[in-house]
């Protein structure tokens, strides 16, 4: 009715409560709307969010984080709360019963009443006229849609009775609740001019049945209109006393929920799956995006059903009759509370909107002006310091805005935005995305190796193969796959039947071949030629994917020139046996090179320390970096010491979780006869830790390095870090899809204050890698870390339990018995 607003209020940093704001009616109170009354109506355990009113005025729905159902982790000793939520409701009137408990008590009377009037027209008319008691039993308080309740009273009572029999301990309580709810309506029914059998009392004995029927219908309609007007005049009634004690959970499992809203007699909500943070990266491109499900709880049936899958977000129309939901970049309109058809094509019948029909005319200059103003305002409103770090932000606007008139391309506008935001002198002020012309896309295929043109051989000689994880085809060379039998030094002669030459490298023939099967043709190895075409052991090891063909090769021009003139004319062409093998390319070699680099560093550490020191690299402080840390840490933590490498760390937000684990100090061991030693705390480091960093580690990588020093976890070796610790939360897209970031979360350390921003974290030992070191494949930073950690192991050896001195629980030896002479 516009007199109440419900919203979430952050009571503390960790808790959010639901509040009601009562807007005063100036006609009644004389107060302006801003002087209304605020009421806190929930006592949150953590966060109560997303309040929504029931249109019938009975309930307030909301989502709450108050379900603590821990789950054991499957990889290490840890408990988590992956669900934690459930939808709840609050009864707005104190006399409303629990809507999730069936209401027995008058089932038999109602069935007898139905049987007595089964043959009367008046009884049928009573249904058609929308009797108040029937509406109340259907759960809509007399104001709902006739389709919200069960098909008939008999079915409703049958459902109630069936459910009640499964809940014998609640029957007595439910009966009491039903009575307090229904008695006023029963009394009102008699006063309204109807007897229990449905006959119209207002009709005289001499009145015909048709006239009585018409009069009864008119009276019922008039009564209904009067009730609606009365309700509108009275407004939404909320009993605030004891309202926090009237919170009820929906009978649905705890989980992750996105939204909740109400229509007459139903509640609609989205339930989200528990997904891995890397699922999007691991899923194939053609796999459907995992999204939430749109579900509906019907109070009359006490049932929950799924309306639609793959729902990211939904919105009800103002009259709550239609529902719009989004999935990926598609929109669909449904009848609220009804399950749609399965057809996915755009039409009025399916509700899918054909967005390709939308045509928009754009004036780039005016659009860029609006985008510039909005980006400027976003910085003004969200920058972490209200004084904009003493930058005259209005002067910046005045200086840069006129330059838009000179911008002629979208990339020039992007450059202008970077320059404008750069005036803040703060990290993480980015601009990306936007409405650029889509360039041609060429999906480059890769084979996980290098190629060098061999003039004498007439082909491309294959370099060392990248050896990463053999079980992950995206992080290793496809040439290492079983049955391929390609080695470094082999010569590639053709791809997909197209001949390679000095001007046609392999990369050219692998354009638009990412993730595709390609046919590689190779020249024979010298050992193959000496076998007169018999491959011997190599041939026996090959698979059906490998084929051999006798061909007359195209001889390089240099070979032809070296031949004598008479030999060029008379020498017979020599046939050689080519090998062909089918290989599936990868779309990037980045993961493969990264895995090979980490494996090489770990191997170097193990070899240099005799296996006493472990090695862990953390590429970033996001989900992938957290996963990479645990992949290495859980396997390396049982060694005597540890090197933690955060060079090239791209930042994120999980540094505190990693530091928490590294800070565990081994206090002792659990020992069992068959299981051996188990450290306590679990996954704790036994000895010293050394961290490696460089100038390419930043953001949360900066924070990690300085915190590592503050916590005295060990030495930091390398170069000073990037120096950008003002965090962001990108969420405001501009009109063409551009995203600008506002530095919102500055970082303050207890020892150095704000000074890490624009400076970085200093290492304890400064070690650089010179260009000649890179070229030679040397890593002086890693070598220094190995030397330092080994020196610490010598100075402070790892303490292990002495199993030879186990406690004895044998009975103590008693002194020899002394014989006394009693004579």
**Residue 30 within a domain:** no
Domain boundary among 538, 571, 586: 586
Choose the catalytic residue: 122, 153, 757, 788: 757
Joined together, the tokens standing for residue 315 give 């919105």
State the pLDDT confidence band at 281, using cuts at 50, 70 and 90.
low
Domain at 425, CATH number: 3.30.750.44
pLDDT(145) > 50: no
Both 385 and 347 in one domain: the answer is no
Number of domains in the chain: 5
Both 787 and 681 in one domain: the answer is yes
Both 643 and 673 in one domain: the answer is yes
pLDDT(791) > 50: yes
More confident residue, 288 or 578: 578
pLDDT of residue 535: 42
**Residue 425 within a domain:** yes
Both 390 and 346 in one domain: the answer is no
- Segment 207-213 shows an average pLDDT of 47
State the pLDDT confidence band at 532, using cuts at 50, 70 and 90.
very low
Both 669 and 785 in one domain: the answer is yes
How many Å apart are CA 478 and CA 515, to the nearest integer?
10
Instruction: Assess whether 231 carries a catalytic annotation.
Output: no
pLDDT of residue 797: 92
Both 420 and 455 in one domain: the answer is no
Residue carrying structure tokens 């392999």? 506
Both 248 and 381 in one domain: the answer is no
Largest CA distance in the chain: 137
pLDDT in tens, 39-95: 999 998 999 999 999 999 999 999 999 999 999 999 999 999 999 999 999 999 999
Give the residue from 51, 95, 103, 99 showing the smallest Cα distance to 248: 99
**Residue 13 within a domain:** no
How many Å apart are CA 427 and CA 264, to the nearest integer?
50
How many Å apart are CA 518 and CA 807, to the nearest integer?
68
Both 632 and 774 in one domain: the answer is yes
| Element of type H or E holding 40 | strand 37-40
pLDDT(156) > 90: no
Both 649 and 773 in one domain: the answer is yes
Both 707 and 782 in one domain: the answer is yes
Q: How large a percentage of the chain has pLDDT more than 90?
A: 66
Domain at 85, CATH number: 2.130.10.10
pLDDT(170) > 50: no
Instruction: Assess whether 411 carries a catalytic annotation.
Output: no
pLDDT of residue 110: 45
Asked if the peptide bond before residue 681 counts as cis, ω within 30 degrees of 0, the response is yes
Q: Contacts from 515-519 at CB under 8 Å and sequence distance 24+? A: 515/443, 515/445, 515/584, 515/585, 515/586, 515/587, 516/445, 516/584, 516/585, 517/582, 517/583, 517/584, 518/445, 518/582, 518/583, 518/584, 518/585, 519/495, 519/580, 519/581, 519/582
Domain that holds residue 255: 44-94+242-357
- Give yes or no for a contact between 291 and 310, defined as CB atoms under 8 angstroms apart: yes
How many Å apart are CA 504 and CA 492, to the nearest integer?
12
- Segment 563-589 shows an average pLDDT of 74
- Whole-model pTM: value is 0.78
Which residues, other chains included, contact 498 with Cβ-Cβ below 8 Å and sequence gap of 6+? 504, 509
Which residues, other chains included, contact 595 with Cβ-Cβ below 8 Å and sequence gap of 6+? 468, 469, 475, 476
Domain boundary among 326, 357, 388: 357
**Residue 381 within a domain:** yes
pLDDT in tens, 409-433: 999 999 999 999 999 999 999 999 9
Domain boundary among 177, 202, 234: 234
How many Å apart are CA 746 and CA 385, to the nearest integer?
9
Q: How large a percentage of the chain has pLDDT more than 70?
A: 76
**Residue 261 within a domain:** yes
Choose the catalytic residue: 428, 617, 630, 706: 428
- In SS3 terms, 337-396 reads as CCCCCCCCCCCCCCCECCHHHCCCCCCHHHHHHHHHHHHHHHHHHHCCCCCHHHCCHHHH
- Give yes or no for a contact between 213 and 121, defined as CB atoms under 8 angstroms apart: yes
Angle, helix 590-609 to helix 780-795, in steps of 10 degrees:
40
Domain at 626, CATH number: 3.90.226.10
Choose the catalytic residue: 414, 655, 699, 707: 699
Q: C-alpha angle 739/358/325, rounded to 5°? A: 70
**Residue 809 within a domain:** no
Both 230 and 262 in one domain: the answer is no
More confident residue, 130 or 349: 349
**Residue 131 within a domain:** yes
pLDDT(373) > 70: yes
Which residues, other chains included, contact 392 with Cβ-Cβ below 8 Å and sequence gap of 6+? none
Number of Cβ atoms within 10 Å of the Cβ of 98: 15
Instruction: Assess whether 120 carries a catalytic annotation.
Output: no
Establish how many alpha carbons lie within 13 A of residue 680's alpha carbon, considering only the half-sphere containing its beta carbon. Answer: 8
Both 465 and 578 in one domain: the answer is yes
**Residue 71 within a domain:** yes
Cα-based distances in Å from 744 to 378, 386, 436, 685 = 11, 10, 28, 35
Which residues, other chains included, contact 323 with Cβ-Cβ below 8 Å and sequence gap of 6+? 268, 314, 315, 316, 317, 333, 334, 335, 336, 337
């Amino acid at each position: 009715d516009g007199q109440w607003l419900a919203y979430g209020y952050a009571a503390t940093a960790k808790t959010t409560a639901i509040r009601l704001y009562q807007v005063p009616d100036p006609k009644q109170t004389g107060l302006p709307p801003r002087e209304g009354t605020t009421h806190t109506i929930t006592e949150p355990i953590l966060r109560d969010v997303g309040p929504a009113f029931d249109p019938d005025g009975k309930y307030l729905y909301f989502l709450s984080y108050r379900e603590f159902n821990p789950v054991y982790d499957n990889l290490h000793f840890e408990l988590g709360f992956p669900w934690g939520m459930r939808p709840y409701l609050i009864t707005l009137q104190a006399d409303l019963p629990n809507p999730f408990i069936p209401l027995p008590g008058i089932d038999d009377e109602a069935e007898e009443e139905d049987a007595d009037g089964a043959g009367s027209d008046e009884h049928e008319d009573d249904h058609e006229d929308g009797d108040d008691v029937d509406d109340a039993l259907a759960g809509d308080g007399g104001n709902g849609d006739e389709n919200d309740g069960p098909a008939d009273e008999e079915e409703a009572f049958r459902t109630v009775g069936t459910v009640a029999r499964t809940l014998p301990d609640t029957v007595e309580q439910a009966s009491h609740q039903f009575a307090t709810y229904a008695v006023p309506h029963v009394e009102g029914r008699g006063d309204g001019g109807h007897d229990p059998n449905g006959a119209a009392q207002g009709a005289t004995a001499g009145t015909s049945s048709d006239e009585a029927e018409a009069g009864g219908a008119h009276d019922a309609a008039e009564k209904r209109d009067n009730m609606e007007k009365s309700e509108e005049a009275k407004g939404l009634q909320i009993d605030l006393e004891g309202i926090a004690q009237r919170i009820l959970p929906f009978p649905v499992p705890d989980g992750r929920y996105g939204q909740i809203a109400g229509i007459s007699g139903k509640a609609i909500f989205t339930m989200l799956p528990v997904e891995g943070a890397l699922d999007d990266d691991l899923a194939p491109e053609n796999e459907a995006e995992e999204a939430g499900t749109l579900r509906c709880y019907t109070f009359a049936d006490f049932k929950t059903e799924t309306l639609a899958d793959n729902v990211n977000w939904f919105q009800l129309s103002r009259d709550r009759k239609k529902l719009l939901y989004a999935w990926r970049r598609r929109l669909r309109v449904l009848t609220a509370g009804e399950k749609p058809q399965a057809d996915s094509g755009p039409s009025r019948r399916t509700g899918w909107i054909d967005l390709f029909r939308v045509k928009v005319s754009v004036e780039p200059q005016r659009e860029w002006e609006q985008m510039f103003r909005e980006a400027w305002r976003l910085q003004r409103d969200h920058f972490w310091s209200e004084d904009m770090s003493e930058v005259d932000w209005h002067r910046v606007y005045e200086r840069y805005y006129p330059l838009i008139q000179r911008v002629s391309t979208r990339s020039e506008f992007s450059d202008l935005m970077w320059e404008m935001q750069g005036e803040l002198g703060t990290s993480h002020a980015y601009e990306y995305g936007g409405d650029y012309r889509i360039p041609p896309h060429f999906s480059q295929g890769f084979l996980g190796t290098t190629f060098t043109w061999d003039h004498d051989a007439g082909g491309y000689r294959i370099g060392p193969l990248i050896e990463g994880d053999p079980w992950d085809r995206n992080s290793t060379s496809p040439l290492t796959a079983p049955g391929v039998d390609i080695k470094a030094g082999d010569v590639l002669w053709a791809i997909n039947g197209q001949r390679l030459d000095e001007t046609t490298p392999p990369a050219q023939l692998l354009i638009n071949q990412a993730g595709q099967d390609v046919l590689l043709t190779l020249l024979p190895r010298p050992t193959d030629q000496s076998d007169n075409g018999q491959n011997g052991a190599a041939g026996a090891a090959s698979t059906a994917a490998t084929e051999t063909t006798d061909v007359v090769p195209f001889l390089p021009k240099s070979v032809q020139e070296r031949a004598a003139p008479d030999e060029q004319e008379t020498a017979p062409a020599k046939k050689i046996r080519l090998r062909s093998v089918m290989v599936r390319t990868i779309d990037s070699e980045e993961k493969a090179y990264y895995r090979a680099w980490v494996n090489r560093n770990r191997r170097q550490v193990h070899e240099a320390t005799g296996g006493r020191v472990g090695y862990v690299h953390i590429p970033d402080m996001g989900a992938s970096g957290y996963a990479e840390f645990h992949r290495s840490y859980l396997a390396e933590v049982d060694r005597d010491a540890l090197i933690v490498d955060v060079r090239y760390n791209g930042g994120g937000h999980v540094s505190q979780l990693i530091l928490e684990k590294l800070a565990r100090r081994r206090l002792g061991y659990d020992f069992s006869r068959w299981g051996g030693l188990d450290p306590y705390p679990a996954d704790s480091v036994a000895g010293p830790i050394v961290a490696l960093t460089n100038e390419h580690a930043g953001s949360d990588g900066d924070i990690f390095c300085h915190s590592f020093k503050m916590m005295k976890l060990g030495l930091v070796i390398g170069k000073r870090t990037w120096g950008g610790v003002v965090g962001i939360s990108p969420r405001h897209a501009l009109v063409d899809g551009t995203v600008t970031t506002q530095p919102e979360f500055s970082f303050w350390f207890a020892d150095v204050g704000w000074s890490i921003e624009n400076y970085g974290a200093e290492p304890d030992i400064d070690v650089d890698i010179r260009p000649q070191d890179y070229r030679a494949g040397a890593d002086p930073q890693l070598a220094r870390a190995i030397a330092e950690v080994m020196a610490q192991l010598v100075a402070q050896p790892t303490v292990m339990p002495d199993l030879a001195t186990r406690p004895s629980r044998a009975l103590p030896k008693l002194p020899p018995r002394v014989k006394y002479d009693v004579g």
